[in-house]
Amino acid sequence: RVLIMGAGPIGTLLVLAARFAGAREVVVTDVQDRPLQYAAKIGADRTINVATHAEAMDGYAANKGYFDVVFEAAGQGGTVARALPV
């Protein structure tokens, strides 16, 4: 299970790489809908706009350690801290 935080060019490449590597689930977060739509189109199982639906990450935090790997591709200071509970 892979979480990719940021759906820009690096995040998009990570979606493709995760799929190529055989990830069984790929979740992508971003603060804009348009890049999330593209992430879904190329293989993300779930996309979450954390600017408008931050609570959607709560379910993953309930079972700390849900994701096998987390990639920070947003380039924002607080993103890494938000990855710790999941």
pLDDT in tens, 15-52: 999 999 999 999 999 999 999 999 999 999 999 999 99
Residue 9 lies in a domain: yes
Work out the percent of the chain whose per-residue pLDDT is above 70.
90
Residue 50 lies in a domain: yes
Model's pTM, two decimal places?
0.89
pLDDT value for 64: 75
pLDDT value for 66: 87
- 56: containing domain: 2-75
Burial class (CB in 10 A: 0-12, 13-18, 19+), 64: exposed
Alpha helices, DSSP H only, in 9-48? 9-20, 33-42
Domain containing residue 60: CATH number: 3.40.50.720
Q: How many domains does the chain have?
A: 1
Query: CA-to-CA distance for 38 and 74, rounded, in angstroms?
Result: 15
